[in-house]
């Protein structure tokens, strides 16, 4: 459980307390408004679970030979998913929200059946997810379909929620309707149980999926000279491992983060320097999520790297190019933000320069202090471990965000926004000049921490 989990607990608790009054103030009947959007919430939940929730099904091989009944093992594995963070984190929203409903004089029986209905829906998702192993295409399609529905609704062509809202509303108005989600939940639990019980064999349910491999030469990378050796490897690393693919997926999500800021969707984010904050974020998604774990990406074969005749500098340069190229690509993908005006895109461009010039080095420097081995074959835990978080990395992280915001604010309040952008851009350009200095520093850390790092990476492998 890391920083990510804390963040979500905080956000959900805040929403649980604030949403009722917010909706009321905006002139809505809070419960029915929320019921309207619950369908999107549950679909989104399923997509997120698919990518991030850890399934213990694969870790039960050693239990097979133990003197337990198979049904007990299945119960244990399924039960373990039930106590996952992805289930109880929503309690931070639903419990305060339900309490507020009660206090506000909603029918207590209705609130209780509604609350239990939500609980059942969350667990239905939990058990659907158990079946969704390696069905990425299906899950992505599902997400896209509902994104299209959302768009249709926003522009007033078709409102899906007129069909779904009555169901969720019904859980409150007609308590007997609780029976529907409960029947589905018990059905799916029973089905999950018998499904896995009959497939408890190494070559059936527990089989490891093997991918057909193709050799890739990636010869076009040779133009990068010496570092192409590592660049080729890094690209294969990203393409062929679950964990790194999850990271790429997350950095795509970062691209949309700007909508919250530039679209004026949230009032607190209206301040001028928040725009800078968003610009750094939307272009730096990959930079932050990949860069912070260099060299941990290579933890599984770190001893190999340490016994080969490897120039640290070439190794680092390869990772640096990766994050810089990814930042460049993000900047291009961000072109639609022009919709919010040229100034918004200017902010993004400047943010990208700062990311490439300053943050790319800082993030690699921070990574040098992280000694958490990465399990490449599992996409889970991408929200971070508690061990991947320490004071040193925090201190290095602060200027990544606050730096450009502060620089922009100085410019903004003295000579105006353009000067603010200029200051951030200049800082980025100056940063390029210090690249080799920072690299030397990182190399020093790698060398002095070598034995500790090897030992730490061995822990989980």
Partner 1 sequence: MITIDNLSKTYNGVTVLNLEHIEIPKGQSFGLVGNNGAGKTTLFSCLLDLIQPTTGFIQNGEYKVHENESWKSHTASFIDESFLIGYLTPEEYFYFIGDLRGQNKADVDALLASFEDFFNDEIIGKRKYLRDLSKGNQKKVGIVATLIGNPEVIILDEPFANLDPTTQIRLKGIIKKMATDRDVTVLVSSHDLQHVTEVCERIVVLEKGNQIKDIMTSPETLKDLERYFSGAEAQAALEVEE
Which spans of this chain sit near partner 1 (rule: CB under 8 A)? 208, 210-216, 229, 232-233, 236-237, 240-241, 300-304, 306-310, 376-377, 450-451, 454-455, 458, 461
Q: Kindly tell me which of 87 and 228 has the beta carbon lying closer to partner 1.
A: 228
Q: How far is the CB of 317 from partner 1 (least distance, A)?
A: 15
Question: Are the CB atoms for 89 and 15 separated by under 8 Å?
Answer: no
134: left (phi over 0), alpha (psi -120 to 50) or beta: left
> What's the CA dihedral at 147, 401, 89, 116 to 10 degrees?
-50
Q: Kindly tell me which of 119 and 235 has the beta carbon lying closer to partner 1.
A: 235
Is residue 382 classed as helix, strand or coil in its secondary structure?
coil
Token readout for 77 is: 């594995």
Dist CA 123 CA 129 (whole Å): 10
Dist CA 425 CA 419 (whole Å): 10
Q: How far is the CB of 215 from partner 1 (least distance, A)?
A: 5
Q: How far is the CB of 214 from partner 1 (least distance, A)?
A: 7
Residue 425 CB contacts under 8 Å (≥ 6 apart), including other chains:
350, 353, 354
Q: How far is the CB of 371 from partner 1 (least distance, A)?
A: 15
Q: How far is the CB of 313 from partner 1 (least distance, A)?
A: 13
Q: Kindly tell me which of 54 and 240 has the beta carbon lying closer to partner 1.
A: 240
Dist CA 122 CA 49 (whole Å): 11
Q: How far is the CB of 227 from partner 1 (least distance, A)?
A: 11
Cis peptide preceding 295, ω within 30 of 0:
yes
CA dihedral for 239, 236, 335, 316, sign (positive or negative): positive
Dist CA 458 CA 387 (whole Å): 15
Looking at residue 298, the DSSP 8-state letter turns out to be G
Residue 398 CB contacts under 8 Å (≥ 6 apart), including other chains:
none
Q: How far is the CB of 322 from partner 1 (least distance, A)?
A: 16
Q: Kindly tell me which of 232 and 400 has the beta carbon lying closer to partner 1.
A: 232
Question: Are the CB atoms for 383 and 5 separated by under 8 Å?
Answer: yes
Q: How far is the CB of 372 from partner 1 (least distance, A)?
A: 16
Token readout for 92 is: 């931070």
Q: Kindly tell me which of 81 and 241 has the beta carbon lying closer to partner 1.
A: 241
């Amino acid at each position: 459980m890391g920083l990510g989990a804390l963040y979500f607990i905080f956000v959900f608790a805040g929403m649980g307390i604030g949403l009722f009054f917010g909706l009321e103030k905006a002139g809505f009947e809070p419960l029915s408004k929320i019921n309207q959007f619950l369908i999107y919430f549950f679909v989104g939940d399923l997509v997120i679970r698919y990518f991030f929730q850890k399934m213990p099904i694969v870790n039960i091989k050693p239990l097979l030979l133990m003197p337990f009944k198979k049904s007990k093992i299945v119960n244990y594995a399924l039960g373990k998913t039930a106590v996952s963070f992805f289930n109880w984190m929503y309690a931070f929203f639903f419990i305060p929200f339900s309490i507020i409903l009660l206090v506000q004089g909603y029918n207590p029986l209705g609130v209780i059946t509604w609350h239990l209905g939500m609980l059942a829906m969350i667990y239905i998702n939990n058990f659907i997810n158990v079946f969704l192993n390696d069905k990425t295409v299906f899950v992505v399609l599902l997400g896209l379909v509902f994104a299209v529905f959302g768009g249709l609704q926003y522009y007033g062509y078709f409102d899906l929620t007129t069909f779904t809202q009555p169901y969720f509303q019904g859980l409150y108005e007609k308590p007997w309707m609780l029976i529907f989600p409960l029947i589905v939940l018990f059905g799916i639990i029973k089905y999950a149980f018998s499904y896995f019980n009959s497939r408890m064999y190494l070559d059936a349910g527990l089989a490891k999926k093997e991918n057909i491999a193709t050799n890739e030469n990636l010869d076009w990378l040779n133009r990068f000279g010496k570092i192409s050796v590592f660049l080729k490897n890094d690209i294969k690393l990203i393409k062929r491992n679950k964990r790194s693919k999850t990271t790429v997926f997350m950095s795509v999500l970062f691209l949309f983060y700007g909508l919250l800021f530039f679209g004026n969707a949230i009032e607190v984010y209206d301040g001028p320097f928040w725009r800078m904050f968003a610009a750094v974020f939307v272009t730096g998604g990959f930079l932050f999520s990949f860069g912070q774990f260099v060299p941990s990406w290579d933890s599984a074969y770190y001893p190999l790297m340490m016994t080969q005749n490897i120039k640290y500098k070439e190794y680092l340069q390869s990772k640096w190019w990766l994050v810089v190229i990814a930042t460049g690509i993000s900047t291009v993908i961000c072109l639609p933000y022009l919709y919010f005006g040229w100034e918004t895109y200017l902010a993004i461009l400047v943010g990208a320069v700062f990311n490439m010039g300053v943050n790319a080095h800082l993030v690699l420097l921070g990574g040098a202090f992280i000694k958490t081995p990465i399990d490449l074959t599992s996409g889970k835990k991408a929200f971070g471990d508690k061990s991947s978080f320490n004071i040193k990395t925090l201190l290095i992280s602060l200027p990544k965000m606050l730096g450009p915001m502060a620089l922009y604010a100085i410019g903004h309040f003295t000579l105006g926004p353009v000067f603010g952008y200029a200051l951030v851009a200049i800082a980025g350009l100056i940063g390029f000049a210090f690249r080799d200095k920072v690299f030397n520093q990182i190399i020093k850390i790698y060398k002095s921490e070598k034995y500790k790092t090897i030992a730490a990476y061995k822990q989980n492998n």
